[in-house]
Amino acid sequence: MDWRTKLLNPSPKARQDYRSLATPVYRGSTVLFNEQSVVTDDWRQAEHGYSYGLYGTPTTLELAARIAELEGASETFIVPGGQAAIALIYFSYCQAGSHALVPHSAYGPNKAMAEGIMRGLNIEVEAYDPLIGAEIDGLIRENTSLIWCESPGSVTMEVQDVPAIVQAAHARGVAVALDNTYAAGVMFDAFAHGVDISMQALTKYVGGHSDLLLGSVSARDEHAYDKLGPIYQQLGLAVSPDDCSLALRGLQTLAVRLEVLERNALEIANWLADHPQVAQVLHPALPSCPGHAVWTRDFSGSTSVFSFIFEDAISADHVVGFINQLKIFKIGMSWGGVNSLAVVYPDLQRPHHDYGGRIVRLNIGLEKVEDLICDLAQAMAKMS
């Protein structure tokens, strides 16, 4: 064999019995088969064997299996980000002429997709009051194919009565999808509460360090798995095994991070609740948050992100000044990482409520909580 050919021989030369605590990073697009008769292009790699790198390498499938185990799902798909997860669910359950429901408090890009791509495909996505509970039955139509929940909601943090929504939906044969990112898939048991599809932006708590973009879509049962799989294949939602490796590492510290994040966030939320310049704190664990009683009933804990509203006397310009005066808190849109973040929503739109640019969302990180409180206090003092 010529040395040039030897360079391209993929057969391993080193011993293959190496074992480690870390999951190997398998990079590859082409999958090799032992013979032509077994060549296939099948997205069901977990059941039928590897066929193509587009559907994941062993690193990807290991992450998927661990997320599925954590959530109690039948199967999980790993996708490039939270928005890709939302798209996969929409396209799997909606077609031209379909009607879907999404809460007013849902993640902004979800609603943007509803008004953009979905509308262009003749799919009507209707917004609903996140606190509607069982009364959602009155919004379900003959052509309703999907109901979205997100609990707590983005920015305004409404906690939804997911079991009541599920009961109404299933009585009419409608599937329910939940954006379960806030709960990291563990603080709220989506499938125990009847949800059909649970998604997460793994970018947030599972990644945990603000350095990767990934999403997951978990199926309750074989029926949901069969709905999602073909669309997953057709959309080509490939992910990087290197990012999956980072997410696998993030899972190892998820429990200890969530414990500290919950404790720090609660301490700061309670401090803000007593501050004279603050009108309301929107933290699910506090009675001031809409749906707090449902949170107490259904959740096993809280996490790092919450919002608060300044008093009416404080102008939107003063709130922007407050944000700009922060030193430890950084100005940023995401959350779930180890660094504390703050951002103001000057144009937040909710039916029958004008926040007047006075609502601020915080992500509490792993910094010393006393330092974070001092940072908030000095920024408020300079604002006033």
How confident is the prediction for the chain on average, in pLDDT? 97
Q: State whether CATH 3.40.640.10 applies to domain 17-248.
A: yes
Please report, for the chain, the start and end positions of each structural domain, with discontinuous segments joined by +: 17-248, 253-383
Mean pLDDT of 132-143: 98
pTM assigned to the model = 0.96
Mind listing the pLDDT tens digit for each residue in 290-316? 999 999 999 999 999 999 999 999 999
Which homologous superfamily does the CATH classification assign to the domain defined by 253-383? Aspartate Aminotransferase, domain 1 (3.90.1150.10)
Q: Which residues are CB-neighbours of 111 under 8 A, at least 6 positions away? A: 102, 125, 127
Tell whether the model's pLDDT for residue 384 goes beyond 80: no
Domain pair 17-248 / 253-383, same fold: no
Place 383 in a pLDDT band, splitting at 50, 70 and 90. Answer: confident
Distances from the Cα of 318 to the Cα of 87, 253, 255, 321, 381, angstroms: 38, 38, 37, 5, 11
Tell me the mean pLDDT in the region 88-112: 96
Tokens 């009108």 correspond to 279
Do 376 and 370 touch, CB atoms closer than 8 A?
A: no
